[in-house]
Amino acid sequence: MMWRYLMPLGIFIVLTAFFVKGLSLNPRYVPSPLLGKPAPEFELPRLKDPNSKLGNIDFEGQVALFNVWATWCVGCRQEHSFLVELSQENNIPIYGLNWKDDRDAALDWLSSLGDPYVGSAFDEIGDTAIDWGVYGAPETFLLASDGTVLYKHIAPLTREIWTSEFLPRIIAECGTLPCLELDN
């Protein structure tokens, strides 16, 4: 008879514990199975020159950013001016993956807003983005010089996120070697 009253109380306590734990989680953090592993292999036509390819070989031997973007993406528009600034003030190459977009619209975007990318691949169908575990644009990956994925950021990249999340990882990757000339 006592179980009749204690069972709902026990269920309530367990549900409350899960709720309290859920409040402390970061809803923007989505762990990537790629962290610490080699970046997925790909080779796609370049956005600006469909006759040439962009792929993993372009990242080889350097710490680099790989940014997934599209003209239809509101967050991509928000981060774009920061990416342009970053490309001008730091010696870290930024590669782009134009995802499920219209080539002409993407070219107009870069022409009018500035082009922060060393090169941008055109992923018209979206298969490469799937291989990279992309949930939605924008997403930015930090790649080590050996081609492994060091970090994945989902949402627009800002100066604060760059300083708190990317720079410490870049410095840790570079060690005492000056692999980048950081202006920050």
pLDDT tens, position by position, 95-151: 999 999 999 999 999 999 999 999 999 999 999 999 999 989 999 999 999 999 999
Q: Which residue has the tokens 């060690």?
A: 175
Please determine, for residue 184, whether its predicted confidence score (pLDDT) is greater than 50.
no
Is position 113 within any domain?
yes
Distance between CA 79 and CA 139 in Å, rounded? 10
What is this structure's pTM?
0.81
Copy the structure tokens of residue 22: 């859920």
CATH code at 150? 3.40.30.10
Helix (H) or strand (E) holding 107: helix 103-113
Is position 118 within any domain?
yes
Is position 23 within any domain?
no
CB-count exposure of residue 143 (10 Å: 0-12, 13-18, 19+): buried
Q: Is the sign of the CA dihedral 72, 77, 85, 175 positive or negative?
A: negative
Copy the structure tokens of residue 184: 């920050």
Total number of domains in the chain: 1
Is position 97 within any domain?
yes
CB-based contacts of 47, cutoff 8 Å, min separation 6: 96, 98, 103, 106, 107, 110, 120, 121, 122
Q: What is the largest CA-CA distance in the chain?
A: 77
What local confidence, expressed as pLDDT, does residue 125 receive?
A: 94
Cis-peptide, bond into residue 138, ω within 30° of zero? yes
Is position 63 within any domain?
yes
Residue span of the structural domain in which 51 resides: 42-174
Is position 27 within any domain?
no
Is position 106 within any domain?
yes
Is position 3 within any domain?
no
Distance between CA 102 and CA 99 in Å, rounded? 9
| Per-residue pLDDT tens digits for 32-90 | 667 889 999 999 999 999 999 999 999 999 999 999 999 999 999 999 999 999 999 87
In single-letter form, the type of residue at position 3 comes to: W
